[in-house]
Amino acid sequence: MPSLETNFSWLDWGIVACYLLGTVAVGLYVNRFIRNMSDYVVAGRAVRTWLAVATMTGSELGLVTVMFAAQKGFTGGFSAFHIAVVAGVVPLVVGFTGFIVVPLRRLGVMTIPQYYGIRFGQGVRVYGGILLAAAGILNMGMFLKAGAIFVTALTGLNEPVHVNIVMTVLILLVLIYTTLGGMVSVIITDYIQFVVLSFGLLLACAIAVGQLGWGTIVGAVQEVHGEAGFNPAHEGGFGVSYMAWMLLTAGLVSSTIWQTAVMRASSVESEAVVRSLYKWSSVGFLIRFLLPQFLGICALTYFMGHPEARALFLATDGGVVNNPELTMSAFPHFLGQILPVGIIGIVGAGMLAAFMSTHDSYLLCWASVIVEDVVAPLRGGKMSTRSRLLLARVLIVLIGIFLLVWSLWYPLGQDLLDYMMISGAIYFTGALALLVLGIYWKGASRVGAYMALTAGGLAVLGLTPVQELIGFERLENWLGMELSTAHVGLFVTALALMLMVLGSLLFPDKGLPAEEREVAS
């Protein structure tokens, strides 16, 4: 990681430490309210509108979200705002229509594979649960790396051993209050972190604009990115295919199909609250991309005026360097230089708390999927509440260990957002087919469901290291075109939908045994 100056001081470390210890204390305190898996996974389905809005926004506005959104602003300019627009508009439409989420809440499911069991049988539930957990854990694989880059750049701790120690401490804090408190602690701490992080991002934006000036910011984007920095459809920038991919992923999938968002919908007290949750959360979904993207643009502007940083982040041709881990560090480096002592501690605390917020939600999510949708159905639903809670907590710890190892081992090779979307596609391409066609088409069958879920495995072809391993360039040369992450993702999505329809038409269900259509209790 590069070594640039930072204003981060011991006072700021004290602010961060006090805040993080306070959130852990809250998580430990609420452990007394956990009575069963419903309390642990969906907070007893008693969450009301405003708390639900805050916790959904707080969870989805994690440090990793801020980092990948800021990176897109840094590398794409104002064109990156199209991601924020679709991320805000789609949940608003969902709030008015109830698309997907209201039928799921009506069924009272805690996880999406649980719906698979109701609609297609327990075999599909188990298979879908395995794919969901695997893709979800893989999707989390870069969270710790993003956190390590943030801590390194913001605080000036550039020695790898320091970063490893900080990340280990953070994951331990997350594991403690997630394993003990479950969704109750997640919701309470998410609310606090939503307030702190929102304040921090708004303050950073105000200081950035005050120091740089709007005209300077626009001029910097024009100089580095040209027309592509303002027009997302420009083929020299994002392009139409990438915009379509973001409409699907940052818009529809992240709000209605991704399991952590569905868990929030399952936690609310009624279908009416689900609709209100999505209407109001649309503003949060918009802002969680927009503010970090703008700060990424401000970081680009700031470093253009500093020769040492300019040489670090900009290529000789004037564009941004093609180094994903380096461009990710631009945003925290920028914060470390423009924010004053004390304020940087508050912002840093909010960011690190957001890191914990996202981790606790996702760890809880994937552990509960394995317990409720894989292990419990395979055992015929014959698991006591105590056994389920114990297994979920053990799995949370094991997943945390895997994440630490994967973050240190895996070479990123592409923008963080692109990695997350394509790794998540291993699950959500098939899930999209099963949910949309399963809910709204009576002819959807079990064989079609298996075929659609299996198709999602092809999404791994969008990961840069996989492409390098199999010689993906030969296919691109044969086709005479470059196959981007968006191309791979859109192709796999279309394939899953097609196989769902084809399999259902060729192999219609003739009636599932009643016991297979019941959700394992």
* Phi, psi angles (nearest 5°) of residue 298: -65, -40
Residue 2 lies in a domain: no
Residue 3 lies in a domain: no
Q: CATH number, domain at 246? A: 1.20.1730.10
pLDDT-derived band at 65 (thresholds 50, 70, 90) equals confident
> Bigger pLDDT: 510 or 345?
345
The confidence score (pLDDT) of residue 447 equals 96
The confidence score (pLDDT) of residue 180 equals 61
> Bigger pLDDT: 336 or 108?
336
pLDDT-derived band at 414 (thresholds 50, 70, 90) equals confident
Least confident of 379-383, 396-400, 499-503: 379-383
Residue 150 lies in a domain: yes
Share of the chain above pLDDT 70, in %: 84
CA atoms of 142 and 410, how far apart (whole Å): 8
The confidence score (pLDDT) of residue 521 equals 32
pLDDT-derived band at 496 (thresholds 50, 70, 90) equals very high
Question: Does residue 455 have a pLDDT over 50?
Answer: yes
Contact by Cβ (8 Å): 353, 22: no
Residue 1 lies in a domain: no
The confidence score (pLDDT) of residue 106 equals 86
The confidence score (pLDDT) of residue 296 equals 96
The confidence score (pLDDT) of residue 75 equals 94
Q: How many distinct structural domains can be found in the chain?
A: 1
Contact by Cβ (8 Å): 261, 250: no
Structural domain of residue 237, as residue ranges? 10-30+37-517
pLDDT-derived band at 160 (thresholds 50, 70, 90) equals low
pLDDT-derived band at 285 (thresholds 50, 70, 90) equals confident
Question: Integer distance in angstroms from the first to the last C-alpha of the chain?
Answer: 49
Contact by Cβ (8 Å): 84, 290: yes
The confidence score (pLDDT) of residue 389 equals 78
> Bigger pLDDT: 31 or 23?
23
Question: Does residue 384 have a pLDDT over 70?
Answer: yes
The mean pLDDT value for 86-103 works out to 92
Query: From its phi and psi, is residue 513 left (phi > 0), alpha (psi between -120 and 50) or beta?
Result: beta
Question: Does residue 520 have a pLDDT over 50?
Answer: no
> Bigger pLDDT: 281 or 218?
218
The mean pLDDT value for 383-403 works out to 85
Question: Does residue 317 have a pLDDT over 50?
Answer: yes
Question: Does residue 121 have a pLDDT over 70?
Answer: yes
pLDDT-derived band at 193 (thresholds 50, 70, 90) equals low
pLDDT digits (tens, 9 = 90+) for 219-245: 999 999 999 999 999 988 899 999 999
Question: How would DSSP label each residue in 236-264?
Answer: TTT-HHHHHHHIIIIIIIIIIISHHHHHH
The confidence score (pLDDT) of residue 379 equals 84
Q: Which residue has the tokens 């539930």?
A: 125
Residue 349 lies in a domain: yes
The mean pLDDT value for 304-311 works out to 84
CA atoms of 444 and 272, how far apart (whole Å): 28
**What are the Cα distances from residue 304, in Å, to 293, 314, 321?**
17, 8, 13
pLDDT averaged over every residue in the chain: 83
Residue 315 lies in a domain: yes
Which residues, other chains included, contact 303 with Cβ-Cβ below 8 Å and sequence gap of 6+?
309, 310, 312, 313, 314, 330, 333, 334
The confidence score (pLDDT) of residue 46 equals 44
DSSP 373: I
Question: Does residue 93 have a pLDDT over 90?
Answer: yes
Q: Which residue has the tokens 């992240």?
A: 254
Question: Does residue 50 have a pLDDT over 70?
Answer: no
CA atoms of 329 and 1, how far apart (whole Å): 8
